[in-house]
Each structure stands twice: as C-alpha cells, then as structure tokens.
Structure 1
Amino acid sequence: MHAMQYEFTLPADYDMQIIRHRVATNGHATDHFPGLGLKAYCVRVRGEQGSTVHQYAPFYLWVDPDGMRQFLLGEGFRRLSGSFGRPAVRRYIGLQYLPGQAAAPQPVAASRRTARIPADAELHGVLDRHLAQASARAACSQVYATAVAFDPQAWEIVHFTLWTQGVPNDDDVQYRVLHVSHPGIDQLAMAPHPPTVLHGQVDP
C-alpha cells in the first residue's frame, strides 16, 4: 500500500462552490480507477474547523503503485494541474489500513495527524505504538476507516482517518469530505503489515 496527498491552497475570496461542483461532476472518474484503493476528496474551508485557508487536498491509498504512476501521468491530473498549477505530491509508504466501526455508507469528514520520528528513537517501537493508536481509533463508532503511513525522507508518520461525523480532536488537520472513491478498498483491508513492523527486523 502507498499513500499520497497534494494540496492546492486557494485565495481567501475563492468560491469553494467551484470545487464542490467540480467534485460532484468529475469525482466519479476515479470510482473504478485501476490500482486505486481509496481516494477521499477533501477540502478545508477558511474560518471553519480551525482552518485559516481554503484548500483542496485529496488523499489517496494505492494498492498498486503502477496505478499511482498512471494517475499522475494521466489526462485527469494534467487537467487539474492546468487549472490550479502542478502541486508537490507527498508520497508515503503505507503501514496499515483498518476499516472502522461506523455503519454509515459514506464519511463526511477526515483528519490528518502528522508526527515526527525522533532521530534517536527506536524505529520499530515507534511504528508499533502508532499502529496500536490506529487500532484503537478504528474501534471508535464514528470512524469509517483509518490508515497509517510514513515518509522515510522527512521521517514522519501520518495518520489519516475518515469520519461519519465531525472530527473530535482539535489538534488534527480537519477536512470536509465531498466524495470517496474506493474501488480497491477490500484489497487495502487484506494487505499485510510490513515485516519490519511485524517482527522488528527485515526478513532475510
């Protein structure tokens, strides 16, 4: 599993209805995209949920990295970049995806929590603690799904969670979710943990 996110920060007076209309019109295009596990069409609205900006910031979980390549080099991303500029794309190594307990068919909110891995920390122990936190979060009745990934360049861990109601933690970056595509969600749930997390060492 691979995670991916990019952000478009928009002018303070930007009409966010334009983004909502764009997602309502085109969001279905990724409902069957090859290699995609899940895409959450996320926005932040200035003055709401602690946000100081208008932002469009979709988050992806990829089952197949070739699907990610096809998407970034494809026509849809080219059109998006033509409208808003080419964004910096953050990529993460996926550690775990967990379905939540919520019975609602679609999430309405999302949160992103980022934590730096200290240089002197024992890596496997840090990862195991974050996976345990994700398991506890997945047990919450308002959670649709949660995922953990890490960035080996910045040495950061990211928790991304989809909620069927508002986000309860004010410390997280909070989003509205306009649409979710999940063509490979069952494959995400079946993906094994990396061997470094399971065993504390790389398998020979």
Structure 2
Amino acid sequence: MHAMQYEFTLPADYDMGIIRSRVARVAHLLDDWDGLGVKTYILRERGVHGSPVNQYGPFYLWNTVEGMNTFLWGEGAFQRTVNDFGRPVIRQWTGLAFEEGTAGGSAPAFAVQRRQPVPEGVELATFTEEAAAETARLAAEDGAVLAAAVVDTRAWELVHFSLWEHDTPNADGDIFQVLHLSAPGRDRLPRGRQW
C-alpha cells in the first residue's frame, strides 16, 4: 500500500462551493481507476470543525505504484488538477497498516488526519507496532469506515488517516468533510500491518 496527498490552502474568503462543484463534476472519473484502493475528496472550511483554513486535500491509498504513476503521468487525470490549481507538492508515504472499520459498508462523511513526527531515538519496531495497533483501535470505534497508518521516511512523519460516517469521530487530528469516495480497489488493500 502506498499513500499520496496534495493540498491546496485557499484564501479565507474563497467560495468553497467552487470545490464542491468541481468534485461533483470530475470525481466519478476515478471510480474505476486500475491500481487505486481509495481516493477521498476531502476539504476543510475555515471556522468549521475548528479549521483555521480553507483547504482542499485529496488523500489516496494505492494498491499499485503503476496505477499511481498512470494517474500522475498519463494523459488527462492529474493534469486537470494542475491546469485548475497549478502543480502542487505531492506528499507520499509507505503503508504501515490498514483496517476496515465497524461501519465499513457506510458512506464516509468525515475524515480525520493526524500527522506526527517519528521521534529521534525511538525503537522503530515498537513505534510502528504502536501505529498499527492505533489503526486497529480507530477501525474498531463506532462509526469508523476505515483507518490507515502511513509513514514518510524522508521527513520521519507518521500519518493516521481515518474515515467516519458521522461528525463526531473518536480520533485526534484535523477534521475534513468527505465530498466523494472513489474506491475501486478497496477490497484489495492489504489488511493489518504491512510488514
């Protein structure tokens, strides 16, 4: 499993209806993308759920690097985003753990993303076991649709990402609204820890 995200932080007075309309118009294009586990079209609005910013930040879990590369470098797909917003920095993480949630059959309404540094001097095996256990804990919570833990070894950053069917998730982090979920290969994402 491989994770990817790019974010666009928008002006405080930006009409977020523009993002909603764009997602409604194009999101279906990835509903059957080969190699994609899930893509969540997520946004935060300034003043909603404690967000200090307006931000659009799709989050992906890929089953294959080939599927991701075809999306990024093939004709059309990612180029539409570049044409509309400019070329963003794309963050990528290696998968540590993935679990289906107690509400796995439900449509997600909210996402929670928590970033944290991998502290200097920690025992890496213990730290990653704890990350996998936290993923399982999140997935077992009432209303959890799915949970994942991913790590960037260049920046030594761990990210917990979870989807929820309700607006009161039992998870710490930034809360996003989910506008659409494309999940053509969700059933093929490997469960549990990824090592």
Relative to the length of structure 2, the TM-score reads 0.95
> Is the alpha carbon distance of 1:134 and 1:62 closer, same or farther for their aligned partners in structure 2, counting shifts above 3 Å?
same
- 1:39 is paired with a residue of what secondary structure? strand
Per-residue deviation, residues 80-128 of structure 1 (Å, max 9, x unmatched): 1111111100000011110000165310000001121111000010000
Partner of residue 199, structure 1: none
Partner of residue 13, structure 2: 13
Q: Is the 8 A contact 1:104 1:164 kept in 2?
A: no
How many residue pairs get aligned? The number is 194
Distance 1:15 1:85 in 2: 18
Distance 2:49 2:171 in 1: 8
Partner of residue 153, structure 1: 154
Tell me how far 1:29 sits from its aligned partner.
Answer: 0.3
Q: Is the 8 A contact 1:37 1:183 kept in 2?
A: yes
Structure 2 gaps of 5+ residues are none
Structure 1 gaps of 5+ residues are 196-204
Partner of residue 48, structure 2: 48
**Which residue type is aligned with residue 182 of structure 2?**
S
Distance 2:11 2:174 in 1: 19
Q: Is the 8 A contact 1:111 1:167 kept in 2?
A: no
When the two chains are superposed, the root-mean-square deviation of aligned CA atoms in Å is 1.5
Identity %: 45
Bigger-Rg structure (1/2) = 1
Relative to the length of structure 1, the TM-score reads 0.90
> Is the alpha carbon distance of 1:79 and 1:99 closer, same or farther for their aligned partners in structure 2, counting shifts above 3 Å?
same
Distance 2:116 2:72 in 1: 26
Distance 1:170 1:134 in 2: 10
Tell me how far 1:156 sits from its aligned partner.
Answer: 1.2
Are residues 1:143 and 2:144 paired? yes
**Which residue type is aligned with residue 98 of structure 1?**
E
**Which residue type is aligned with residue 84 of structure 2?**
S
Q: How does 1:142-181 map to 2 (within 5 A)?
A: 142-168=143-169, 171-181=172-182
89-98 or 169-178, which moves further after superposition?
Answer: 169-178
Partner of residue 107, structure 1: 108
**Which residue type is aligned with residue 16 of structure 1?**
M
